Structure 1
Amino acid sequence: MWMIEQAKKAGIQFNDPLINARQYNVVTNPIVHDRTGNSVLISDGQSGKVGPYFDPGRDFAWANDNNSSNRINQHLTGMNATELAQYLKDYADPKAEAQPNAQAWHLGLNWKVTLQFQNAQYNASNPGKFEKLLKLEQQFTTDPNCKPKEVLGGCKALTEFQKLKSNDVTGTATIVYRSTREDEAIQITNYLNWIKANYGTALTFKAANGVKAK
């Protein structure tokens, strides 16, 4: 919907009655998915034994005049210099993840912000899957059995990454948090309120049958 709103501002016309009829502005089954550990060539999920796989890690990059600091690992966004240094030391090549002073302060939804929308049971003393997946990403960079071999079972971090996920309707391990489990359902209402407050995009949550998210 945010993309549609930006297009409208640029003068492109849309059929709003059709958008409302098809409920493009309604969230019914909020899940969090991730294809890390899945085959790049075929979507075989946890059944695949040999890669190449989608590796852990996501880059956030932007254009500016200083090419040495215009990218940062998405997992490190929203951190101050002290926090950044603490996390960088656990990567095999810290400079490949971010420059010491790199930050994307113009990025509204950073990784630290997303933590508050996990299931309400998670907190500093009871970390959720987001934090666990970050640790596995760091381990992936330091384990010589992970690159370039890419064999599930041989690379412990990649194997554990897959175990934290569950299968989607195709039988592929892509679901980090599913909405039909009380212990996994994200705080979707708080998330949609945050989107409206920060981006102005109004979305409605209408839970589908069996959805536990609130």
Structure 2
Amino acid sequence: MWMIEQAKEHGVILKDDVIKDNNWNIVSSPIIHDKGANKIDPPTFSLVGDRDFSYGNGTSVKQAKAVVGGNDTAWARSQVSYYSTWCGPSESPAVGLVDMQKYNDWLVGQGINISYAPTSSTQRCE
């Protein structure tokens, strides 16, 4: 998984057998949580909840204005099926489910391979 490989590249020592035995190398629950204090469906990343996004060259923009790999916030939102009702803790509610096939197709185009389990189309908050 990409995050595991990133950690290893930065010197974090991980036990591959423990990761594999616990299936921590497989995305199995691609739920989006929103810690941004947004209360609009789908979230619009209001100024209250918008985070700073820093590029490698030292510049930064608000997350809603960020462009990564040629894709913007509208594109990123198109990868998520938003719940009509949010659920979970108010400080980090579940707001939607990532379309893993779309996300995987994009990652492959970026040269990144991940493993993911088939996800249910059932919206967990309804």
Whether contact under 8 Å (1:166, 1:173) holds in the other structure is: no
Whether contact under 8 Å (1:59, 1:71) holds in the other structure is: yes
Looking at secondary structure, tell me which structure has more helix per residue: 1
The one-letter code of the counterpart of 1:75 is A
Unaligned runs of 5+ in 1: 39-53, 79-106, 120-127, 130-163, 178-184
- Which residue of structure 2 aligns with residue 57 of structure 1? 50
Unaligned runs of 5+ in 2: 39-46
- Give the RMSD, CA atoms, in angstroms: 3.4
TM-superposed CA distance for 1:187, in Å, is 1.5
- Which residue of structure 2 aligns with residue 167 of structure 1? 87
SS at the partner of 2:114? coil
Specify the structure having the higher radius of gyration (Cα).
1
- Which residue of structure 2 aligns with residue 20 of structure 1? 20
Q: What is the TM-score when the length of structure 1 is the normalising length?
A: 0.42
Query: How many residues in Structure 1 have an aligned counterpart in Structure 2?
Result: 114
Rounded Cα–Cα distance in structure 1 between residues aligned with 2:17 and 2:2: 17
The one-letter code of the counterpart of 1:166 is W
- Which residue of structure 1 aligns with residue 117 of structure 2? 205
Rounded Cα–Cα distance in structure 1 between residues aligned with 2:94 and 2:115: 22
Whether contact under 8 Å (1:165, 1:174) holds in the other structure is: no
Rounded Cα–Cα distance in structure 1 between residues aligned with 2:37 and 2:28: 27
- Which residue of structure 1 aligns with residue 44 of structure 2? none
Rounded Cα–Cα distance in structure 2 between residues aligned with 1:175 and 1:166: 6
Q: Is 1:196 aligned to residue 95 of structure 2?
A: no
Whether contact under 8 Å (1:118, 1:186) holds in the other structure is: yes
Rounded Cα–Cα distance in structure 1 between residues aligned with 2:11 and 2:36: 38
The one-letter code of the counterpart of 1:34 is D
- Which residue of structure 1 aligns with residue 78 of structure 2? 116
TM-superposed CA distance for 1:4, in Å, is 2.1
Between stretches 191-200 and 25-34, larger displacement belongs to 191-200
Looking at secondary structure, tell me which structure has more strand per residue: 2
Q: What is the TM-score when the length of structure 2 is the normalising length?
A: 0.65
TM-superposed CA distance for 1:76, in Å, is 1.5
- Which residue of structure 2 aligns with residue 45 of structure 1? none
1:91-170 matches, cutoff 5 A: 107-108=68-69, 110-119=72-81, 166-168=86-88, 170=89
Whether contact under 8 Å (1:77, 1:110) holds in the other structure is: yes
User: Residue 24 and residue 199 in structure 1: after superposition, are their counterparts in 2 closer, same or farther (change >3 A)?
Assistant: farther
Whether contact under 8 Å (2:26, 2:117) holds in the other structure is: yes
Rounded Cα–Cα distance in structure 2 between residues aligned with 1:173 and 1:5: 26
TM-superposed CA distance for 1:112, in Å, is 3.5
